[in-house]
Amino acid sequence: MEFTGERVVPGDMAKDFVTYQEHLFRYAIAVEYAVGKSVADIACGCGYGLAILAGVAKEIWGIDKS
């Protein structure tokens, strides 16, 4: 995915490091709630957050318009 500033693209986040850190912090909190559960990430973008949640969730689903 091309970095447009609209969504997080991990490989391009040096351009907007603060936003990337904010997103990572949100997923760090979500991990605590996802342990052993089925999780849906709506508007997941490129899915980097799903990769984080996959480490603890029972199953994961990612849905994004693009």
Sort strands 38-42 and 59-63 into parallel, antiparallel or unpaired: parallel
CA 34, CA 47: separation in Å to the nearest integer? Answer: 16
Q: pLDDT for 29-49, tens place per residue? A: 999 999 999 999 998 888 889
In which band, very low, low, confident or very high, does the pLDDT at 18 lie, cut at 50, 70 and 90? confident
Mean confidence (pLDDT) of the chain? 85
Question: Which of 7, 4, 19 lies closest to 62, judged by CA?
Answer: 7
DSSP bridge partners of 38: 59
Q: Is 45 left (phi over 0), alpha (psi -120 to 50) or beta?
A: left
CB-based contact 56:35 (threshold 8 Å):
yes
